[in-house]
Amino acid sequence: MRQIYLDNAATTKMSPAAIQALLPCLDQVYGNPSSLHSPGQRASEALSHARERIARQFNCTPRELTFTSGGSEADNQAIRSAALLGARQGKRHIISTAFEHHAVLHTLDRLEREGFAVTLLDVHENGLIQPEQVAQAIREDTCLVTVMYANNEIGTIQPVAEIGAICRERGVLFHTDAVQAAGHLPIDVQGQNIDLLSLSAHKFHGPKGVGALYVRKGVPLTSLIEGGAQERGKRAGTENIPGIVAMAAALDEACGRMEENAAKVSALRDRLIAGLANIPHSILNGDPTRRLPGNVSFCFEGIEGESLLLLLDDKGVYASSGSACTSGSLDPSHVLLAIGRPHEIAHGSLRLTLSEETSQEDVDYTVEAVTQVVSYLRSMSPVWRDLETGKQSFVIQ
Ligand SMILES: *Cc1c(COP(=O)(O)O)cnc(C)c1O
């Protein structure tokens, strides 16, 4: 049976280059970078080298990067640090959007319970926010704006540079969760006026459990984990050398082939979108062009996303209904609700995220598989019968 992995927004397969970079760190460069002896120094050099390679890809200095256990930790640390800094100046207002990753939203929930005020900007039906919304929401006591670079469920790309410019002008810190963007879209923290940025290796063919937080020079970072003085006291714990070295290799590879990959993958994405749009009463989620090269997200009326996923799995198509974090729960995706999809429609969602390894045959097979499964599920659904006989009216025309 064909096996088609279309869940690259949840995680990616490690690239051969990343694996090759990682392996010697397990048994050769095994020292603790804090040790003064030669094995320790070799590890310390590997760490510095990786930091320099990563810094180059984002146009920052190596000292502005702190390694973390991944995107969630970077998001938590960025937001907590900015909040603490704000509180010291009597500024306790934070601006974000309704469709951030839970690593951001749940951190904001916690801060709200600790006395911060949070404004969540409405997301337009096309999955974008306007920079003017940020400008209008900024108050005297705003200490942070946090808006994701690209959405993990519907793939839409936010006007980060414009938001950054507004924040810089108004003297407010700007954080962006760039976990879906890093390695896939060009990022220039200086040109885009970004103060804090989160990334995670496993979303660009690096290993899981490693990421980084960029913090502009002069912005003090608060440590979430107490312990040793690693990462210049900003993040305790012996550095994950294999992970960090492999992340640098994966990022270099992804950035080196970014244009080529984006052209190839977005052509396949558009072919997949065109194919799925032929299914009656279906709708694409998110702007058709201002989206990640590999992201396809649809809602199908009269369908339960979970049944769709299980039947697709039987056909060797590995997809998701939204974010991996909400799968297993019966709540509809907060992202789809944020762009105004009604509950019953949000339940019938399907996210297919492509990679450089996806082929045109994979796409054509997937279109056929989804078309068959949707039609099969509808043929058994009492809701669908009511829609067809006019007892209930269609939401998606
Ligand atoms: C995957 C993801 C995260 C979490 O990253 P981890 O490394 O898995 O903790 C955060 N934000 C976005 C947008 C993501 O896609």
- Supply the residue whose CA is at minimum distance from atom 12 of ligand 1: 179
Task: Judge contact between 251 and 272, C-beta under 8 A.
Answer: no
Residue 321's pLDDT is what?
87
φ and ψ at residue 287, rounded to 5 degrees = -55, 135
pTM of the prediction?
A: 0.96
CA distance 111 to 83: 8
Output the residue whose Cα is nearest ligand 1's atom 5: 71
- For residue 255, how far is its CA from the centre of ligand 1 (angstroms)? 19
- Please report the pLDDT score of residue 329 as a whole number: 58
How far, in Å, is the centroid of ligand 1 from the Cα of 74? 9
Helices (H), the chain: 16-22, 24-27, 38-58, 71-88, 102-113, 131-137, 160-170, 241-256, 258-277, 305-314, 334-338, 343-346, 360-379, 382-388
Q: Which atom of ligand 1 is nearest to the CA of 151?
A: 13
Q: From the CB of residue 233, how many other CB atoms can be counted at a distance below 10 Å?
A: 13
Find tokens 């801060």 and name the residue.
Answer: 111
Mapped onto helix, strand or coil, the DSSP state of residue 140 is coil
pLDDT of the residue at 323 = 53
In CATH, what is the architecture of 16-256? Answer: 3-Layer(aba) Sandwich (3.40)
| Segments making up each domain of the chain, as ranges | 16-256, 258-389
The C-alpha angle with vertex 101 and arms to 231 and 279, in degrees rounded to 5, equals 140
Per-residue pLDDT of the chain (397 residues; tens, 9 = 90+): 899 999 999 999 999 999 999 999 999 999 999 999 999 999 999 999 999 999 999 999 999 999 999 999 999 999 999 999 999 999 999 999 999 999 999 999 999 999 999 999 999 999 999 999 999 999 999 999 999 999 999 999 999 999 999 999 999 999 999 999 999 999 999 999 999 999 999 999 999 999 999 999 999 999 999 999 999 999 999 999 999 999 999 999 999 999 999 999 999 999 999 999 999 999 999 999 999 999 999 999 999 899 999 999 999 999 998 655 445 556 889 999 999 999 999 999 999 999 999 999 999 999 999 999 999 999 999 999 999 999 999 999 8
Within 10 angstroms of residue 92's Cβ, the number of other Cβ atoms is: 18
What is the structure's pLDDT at 330?
67
User: What integer pLDDT is reported at residue 397 of this predicted model?
Assistant: 87
Q: Report whether residue 71 contacts ligand 1, using a CB cutoff of 6 Å.
A: yes
First to last CA, the chain: 35
Closest CA to 240 of 20, 30, 13: 30
Catalytic status, residue 325 = yes
Distance 302 CA to ligand 1 centre (A): 30
Query: Which residue's CA is the closest to the ligand 1 atom numbered 14?
Result: 179
Distance CA 27, CA 42 (A): 12
Q: Which fold has domain 258-389?
A: Aspartate Aminotransferase, domain 1 (3.90.1150)
Burial environment of residue 102 by CB neighbours within 10 A (0 to 12, 13 to 18, 19 or more): middle
Measured in angstroms, how far is the CA atom of residue 183 from the centroid of ligand 1? 14
Ligand 1 atom with minimal separation from the 203 CA: 1
